[in-house]
Amino acid sequence: MKIRIDELEDAFMFASAGSDLDSAVYLERATGEFRYVGEGVDEPDGTAEGLAGSDDYLRVPNKHELDLGEALVLDFVADQLPDALDEVREFFRHRGAYPRFKDLLDARDRLDAWYDYEHRKTLAALRDWAAGEGIELAD
């Protein structure tokens, strides 16, 4: 099966937007079509359970499953702002860590660098995931 990387990235973003029960995307193995389930998507009741239980569909991972959450932030900070590493670690011991992290980046004029880094790492992780699932990606 061959799918476009931008479509996979869109599906990944949707899957990462909510909890596992709120937002999910399934890729139909035979057609390469994405099926979105969650709030704001018109799907019959039980669709998510049916897709999850089917060998015909593959669930698109979210950012936590690809380890693109706190670990990615800490890698970026260790490389780009090593003097702030302890401060950022402390952010992640409490709720609301990402807004505080982004405020810190904005104050240090590193917000665009973070978005570029996050995007590159996300695409690399999605490419690795797709390769592991036997999915061919097109740009």
Percentage with pLDDT > 70 across the chain: 88
Which pLDDT score is estimated for 51? 83
The overall average pLDDT reported for the chain is: 90
Which pLDDT score is estimated for 90? 97
- What total of structural domains would you count in the chain? 2
Percentage with pLDDT > 90 across the chain: 76
| Cβ-contact 73, 88 below 8 angstroms | yes
Asked if 70 and 137 sit in the same domain, the reply is: yes
| Residues of the domain holding 22 | 2-61
The token duo for 6 is: 């931008």
Claim: this prediction has a pTM higher than 0.95 = no
The token duo for 78 is: 């260790």
| Cβ-contact 1, 115 below 8 angstroms | no
Asked if 51 and 74 sit in the same domain, the reply is: no
- Of the candidates 61, 85, 109, which is a domain's last residue? 61
Strand order in the sheet with 23-28: 34-38, 23-28, 57-59
Diameter of the chain measured on Cα atoms? 51
Backbone angles phi, psi at 39, to 5 degrees: -60, 130
Q: Which residues contact 16 (CB under 8 A, 6 or more apart)?
A: 23, 62, 63, 64
Query: pLDDT digits over 97-127, tens only?
Result: 999 999 999 999 999 999 999 999 999 999 9
Burial of 97: CB neighbours in 10 Å, binned 0-12, 13-18, 19+: middle
- Of the candidates 61, 77, 101, which is a domain's last residue? 61
